[in-house]
Amino acid sequence: MATVADVEAGAQTPASATRPAARRRSFPVWRWAILLIAGVFFLIPLYAGLRFAGLKAFANVFTYPGFGSAVGLSLRLAAITTILTLVLMVPTTVYVHLRLPQIRRSMEGITIMPIVIPPIVLIIGVLKVAPGFLLGTPYLLALVYVILAMPFAYRSLDAGLRAFDLKTMVEASNSLGADWPTTLWRVVLPNIRTAMLSATVLTVALVLGEFTMASLALYVTFPVWIVQFEQNAGPVTTAASLLALFVTWILLMLIVTVGGRGARKRGGAQVALFTVAAPAESSQTMGEPE
């Protein structure tokens, strides 16, 4: 019996095989120039901060009063906010994509609202609806941060879901006997892993840097601590700010590297901060190499 394999053998040259070389060639000099200018623009203030703080201040940061509790609270809030955001936004976004695609545009509008609504309105709204056991605790801020993170998380997840054929994947999984929770766990979530990582990075970065809400609610998170001690311990708070920046960068690079490696192996979406773009030829390769 003649088989397809006989015909196709030796003719398989997925388009992705030649991509890196082509990409290297298409990076012209003017792009390097823009990269250099942007780099200088960002690095000069950092250098100035380093000069102002001095290396000694970095060692003092950890022993300064309130530093540990402020960082601890910010990290706990970041973890809670991230979990709540993913638990709420992932099923919502998947449901909208699968069952209510017609309201996707409306969702984009709704999820952008936390950016345009004044912080004081948001926090009063949260105070009105928050469960009693949260009132009077700093963890109330997590609810506010979930709202603030919504525009970024939704966009990351939305882009991730657009990068592959969700409807067909879900139907294929169902037809093979997988129920809904199994389909979500084994098929959907692994394929939006990079989008979830992007949402996580953005949420963590937002919580670690958020000042207004925490200050209004009178809780000393890390940014509030920096502002409070800025007046009498400038070099130390500057060193703390730089440390926070470096830690966030390292976290970001770690997620991008780990997520990107997994995505490249599977030929899927690459990690990006605001969008998750799938190379056109990877996810929907309709042409034949033969």
Contacting positions for other proteins (CB under 8 A) = 1-8, 11-12, 14, 16, 164-165, 168-169, 171-179, 182, 186-187, 190-191, 193, 265-268, 282-290
The residue among 108 and 171 lying less far from other proteins, judged by its C-beta, is 171
Q: How far is the CB of 182 from other proteins (least distance, A)?
A: 7
Task: Provide, rounded to whole angstroms, the least separation between the CB of residue 9 and other proteins.
Answer: 8
> Is the four-CA dihedral 149, 151, 157, 159 of positive or negative sign?
negative
The smaller minimum CB distance to other proteins, of residues 188 and 214, is found at 188
From residue 54, alpha-carbon distances to 47, 51, 255 in Å are 10, 5, 30
Rank residues 15 and 50 by Cβ distance to other proteins and give the closer one: 15
State in angstroms the smallest separation of the CB of 156 from other proteins. Answer: 18
Choice between 75 and 98, CB closer to other proteins: 98
255 with 272: CB under 8 angstroms?
no
Q: What angle do CA 164, 166, 167 make, to 5 degrees?
A: 140
129 DSSP 8-state letter = H
Rounded CA separation 33/28 (Å) = 9
Is 11 or 129 the residue whose CB approaches other proteins more closely?
A: 11
Cβ atoms within 10 A of the Cβ of 287, count?
8
Name the residue nearer to other proteins (CB basis): 223 or 268: 268
Nearer to other proteins, 106 or 284 (CB): 284
Overall size of the chain counted in residues:
290
The DSSP line for 258-288 is HHHHHHHHHT-PPP-SS--PPPHHHH---S-
Count other C-beta atoms under 10 Å from residue 55's C-beta. 8
Q: How many other CB atoms are there within 10 angstroms of residue 247's CB atom?
A: 12
Rounded least distance, CB 192 to other proteins, Å: 10
Q: What's the closest the beta carbon of residue 261 comes to other proteins, in angstroms?
A: 14
* Residue 266: how many other CB atoms lie within 10 Å: 13
Smallest distance from other proteins to CB 272, Å: 17
State the nearest-atom distance from the C-beta of 281 to other proteins, in Å. 9
